[in-house]
Chain A
């Protein structure tokens, strides 16, 4: 079945550092890929998405590229801020409406 594996946290960075959170997937067919973010005390919200190979999703300075050859969708940001502290979830959507989530990576950014 479909599955998502993302790097385990927690990740702690200083402000303005470069961020990478790795995500790889296993799926049949051509899934859509997503990154969701959960700020403290809130539900999840969509950060970015990509629906086909080589697509790049981007939002709020975050980027991720759908790499079919490596079955990856790594999240990157060039310069993180304290306000980026949150839990990040990689997810995929196959043929149904259901999403399959990774286990989440907690990011803490220190000033």
Chain B
């Protein structure tokens, strides 16, 4: 069974903290993605990776970075969290055009 897991379902951080969101897939997929989901805005792509150590900016990369040291793991990093980064973060991996999503991490920055 296809599985994408995210390290936390809920996370509360303070403004200025460095935040790591982890995503792991067990399907040996080349492509992995990070989105944020906000009411009325749908899903917006932050970054994606098409191979180990390869990354490409999405539509809203500002304030975020990513790391992909192993094929199965794709990390999203908020270098200095701000309140406008309070959101639901979704990770996905893809094969043959279908994307498989994790359950999401609801991040609150206070």
A residues adjacent to B (C-beta < 8 A): 32, 34, 36, 41-46, 49, 51, 89, 93, 97-99, 101-104
Contact = CB atoms under 8 A, between A and B. Distances in A.
A43 B23 CA distance: 13
Contacts of A104: 42-43
Contacts of B99: 44, 46, 99
Interface in B56-110: 58, 90, 92, 94, 97-104
B81 to A, nearest CB: 22
Nearest to B91: A43
B102 A43 contact: yes
Contacts of B103: 41-43
Nearest to A99: B99
B14 to A, nearest CB: 25
Contact of A44 (B48, B94, B101): B101
A42 to B, nearest CB: 6
Given A43-B4, A89-B42, A103-B42, A49 B98 contact: yes
